[in-house]
Every structure is written in C-alpha cells, then in structure tokens.
Amino acid sequence: MNFLIDKSDHYTLVKTDLSEINGEQAEQLAKDLELHIDEFTCKYIVLNFGTVISCNAAAVRALIKLGLFLKERNGMLIISNPLESFERLFEKAEIVFVPTDIEAIDYVFMDQIEKQFLDNEE
C-alpha cells in the first residue's frame, strides 16, 4: 500500500506520497483503518493530503464513509494539508480540515479535553 501509518495512543497519522487517490486505494485504506480502530481503540485519524492533488468520486465516498464510521465511535477524521478543492468536495461530510499535521494533532487533544469536560459536567 502507498500509505505510511504512524500510530500513537491518541491518534493515527496517515501519510502518502500519492498525487492521486482512487476509490480502490481509499476503500482499502478505510478498511485497514477500521480494523485498527476496533483493535486499538484509537478513534482519531489524521490523513495528510500534502501530496494529493486529485481524489475521484469513489475515493471521496470511501473517505466520507470512514468519517462517519469514526464519528459513530466518538472519533474523528481530520485531513491535513488539503487543497481548497477538497474542502468543497467533503463539505457536507463529518471531516475536519486543518492546514498542518501539528494543528491536526492539537485539534485531537482539544477535542478529547472538550469531551472529558462535557462528561464531567454530566
């Protein structure tokens, strides 16, 4: 596969050197990540789109499905370094877009803190 997966306790960072992602690649990545989520309980995925300039409709659908899968498990799909055109493609999806990996990781920790705070209030 053309993806490098770096796991931590709080998030999984996924990088690729692909310039185009097709449906088959995105579906396989989503399948692999869904297995990882169920196995290790890491519910936040940061997908670095720094090299990606094209994403076909099937890939968009697969990534939207992954975003919904994560949301159902109280997690999140975050895409870092995206082109502006990707934000429009995924506009209605449960996916967060941030400029850098560092900001994505900060977003993960802020979301976890917010969820802890809300849980403590109840």
Kindly report the average pLDDT of the chain as a whole number: 89
pLDDT of res. 65: 92
Q: What is the per-residue pLDDT across 74-106, written as a single tens digit (0 to 9) for each?
A: 899 999 999 888 877 787 777 899 999 999 999
Distance CA 73, CA 99 (A): 25
pLDDT of residue 122: 65
Domains and CATH numbers, the chain: 3-121 (3.30.750.24)
Give the side-chain half-sphere CA count within 13 A for 14: 21
Cα–Cα distance, 45 to 67 (Å, whole number): 9
Which among 20, 22, 80, 77 is positioned nearest to 50, based on CA atoms?
80
E strand or H helix that includes residue 96:
strand 95-98
Identify the residue with better confidence: 107 or 85. 107
Cα–Cα dist 39/21, whole Å:
26
